Structure 1
Amino acid sequence: MRFCITHDNDCIRLDPDVLVPWIAYTQPMTPDTVLFDLDSTLCRSTQDDRKLHAEAFSRAGVEPFCTPEEVRAAATAVTDADTDREFFRQVFERVGARADAGPIDAEALAAATVELRDPTAVEWRPGARQALQRARQRARVGLVTNGTRDTQRAKLETLGIADAFETIVYAADRTEPKPSPAPFETALAELDAPADSALYVGNDYRADVVGAKRAGLTACWIPDEHDLDPPADPTHVPDYRFESPTELTTVF
């Protein structure tokens, strides 16, 4: 029996009795546990981001000093907010400082943003429903999200998956948020599952990939259209990177 190495066209001989075990050994392990992120991984907001952004500044009586893209970029650095309002307050403070906007009413901007955002205005990210269904058929499934219980529960109920997970960790209410390993460790403990046989699926490099790798999980990164690229020299590299949740079927 001959086995060809395609990258340089050289060939090596393998004993037939060795070939099957060798192939089996090199195949990726099917995860026993799959943990998902929610926002921009399983679902997307149906609200117009630019209209919401402009209306928030108008309601707060603040002259616009940033774009929605700059708000999203600043949001990845906020890791210690206990409420949605506190989260956005910190986000606008960070963006204002970067823009050298001078004194701003971040509290008013945060309040207006929370009032305008509708947690029930969500839809499935294409391919995500099928990926979740397949995961549930093949593994134990949990959810790890940085959002608050009230906000995220409304999204789950809208999608019809409030009871689809064996455990849900709302990090804003229970632990340090991602990228801390704490919410991942909490989910695994509740499932009595080891990290080395668990897969985490998320769209945000900093929160999801870094957090999952810190906790010892296999990380699958599926960035959405607005997500930022990882740093040029990332400390943590995802084990899988896909363009769409539909590609998760190659893992489980």
Structure 2
Amino acid sequence: MSSQRNANPWKNFALNVSQRLLMRTGTNSSVDETLRIHSVMLAIRQINVKLLPSVTRVLNELSQEHRLAIVTNGAPNAQQQKINAVNLERWVDAIVIAGHDIPPKPDPEPFERAIQLLNATSATTVHVGDSLETYIAGASAAGLDSVWLSDSDNITEYTPTHQIESIVDLLSFPWIEESPSNSG
């Protein structure tokens, strides 16, 4: 079992966290039982994903005029399950799952891959995200304009190009009017 535990550092970390949580509740389980419980919890988490109605509206409208991509970090199977659970593929033209074969955000490579898959350029691409440290830093490293989704004014060392408080603000944001696909 020790070779199985050390084969994947993320799985090992998750196992340790799960064991600690179970011990706090007074549950004393073996490694195998903990792995089974953890697997069930992950499966539930992956399929129990819902989009807010405002997100559906925004994606419906933006996907009619713009090519969209998903750039996400995580285990490919887990991220694909989340994407499938809410049928995100109906709105997007490209999906880049970083952290396995591609370095995770904030590395610029996942953003560069998305640009390539969209047949776009960094000058015509905007990245929207809610984390300064991963989304905004990574977008900036890839030469992209960025939109930070946050109601906080606590901007650290990473400065977004734009900031919005609600996902709906993407529909009337100035960058849409400036987009090359809307001119002419």
Give the TM-score of the pair, scaled to structure 1. 0.52
Q: Give the helix-richer structure, 1 or 2.
A: 2
- Verify the 8 A CA contact 1:175 1:183 in the aligned structure 2: yes
Secondary structure in 2 matching 1:201:
strand
Structure 1 residue 148 displacement after superposition:
2.1
- Is 1:85 matched with 2:11? yes
1:20-39 map, 5 Å: none
Secondary structure in 2 matching 1:155:
helix
CA distance in 2 between partners of 1:138 and 1:86 (Å): 44
In structure 2, what is the equivalent of residue 190 of structure 1? 117
1:222 to 146, 149, 156: 149
Per-residue deviation, residues 134-173 of structure 1 (Å, max 9, x unmatched): 2211111111000222111111222122343211101023
CA distance in 1 between partners of 2:58 and 2:130 (Å): 14
In structure 1, what is the equivalent of residue 26 of structure 2? none
In structure 1, what is the equivalent of residue 94 of structure 2? 167
Aligned residues: 150
In structure 1, what is the equivalent of residue 27 of structure 2? none
- Is 1:116 matched with 2:38? no
* 1:214 to 1:160, Cα distance in 2 relative to 1, 3 A: same
1:130-141 map, 5 Å: 130-141=57-68
CA distance in 2 between partners of 1:192 and 1:130 (Å): 25
Secondary structure in 2 matching 1:192:
coil
Q: Which runs of 5+ in 1 are unaligned?
A: 1-81, 93-106
**RCO higher in structure (CA 8 A, sep ≥6):** 1
Structure 1 residue 89 displacement after superposition:
6.9
In structure 1, what is the equivalent of residue 69 of structure 2? 142
* 1:173 to 1:241, Cα distance in 2 relative to 1, 3 A: same
CA distance in 1 between partners of 2:47 and 2:172 (Å): 31
CA distance in 2 between partners of 1:127 and 1:83 (Å): 37
Secondary structure in 1 matching 2:96:
strand
- Verify the 8 A CA contact 1:205 1:228 in the aligned structure 2: no
Q: Which runs of 5+ in 2 are unaligned?
A: 1-7, 18-30, 177-184
Pairwise CA RMSD of aligned residues? 3.0
Per-residue deviation, residues 165-208 of structure 1 (Å, max 9, x unmatched): 21110102331000000100111112221101101111111110
In structure 2, what is the equivalent of residue 242 of structure 1? 164
Give the TM-score of the pair, scaled to structure 2. 0.69
Q: Which moved further from structure 2: 181-190 or 110-119?
A: 110-119
In structure 1, what is the equivalent of residue 85 of structure 2? 158
CA distance in 2 between partners of 1:87 and 1:217 (Å): 33
1:210 to 131, 137, 140: 137
Query: Aligned residues: percent identity?
Result: 25
- Verify the 8 A CA contact 2:132 2:159 in the aligned structure 1: no
The structure whose Rg is larger is: 1
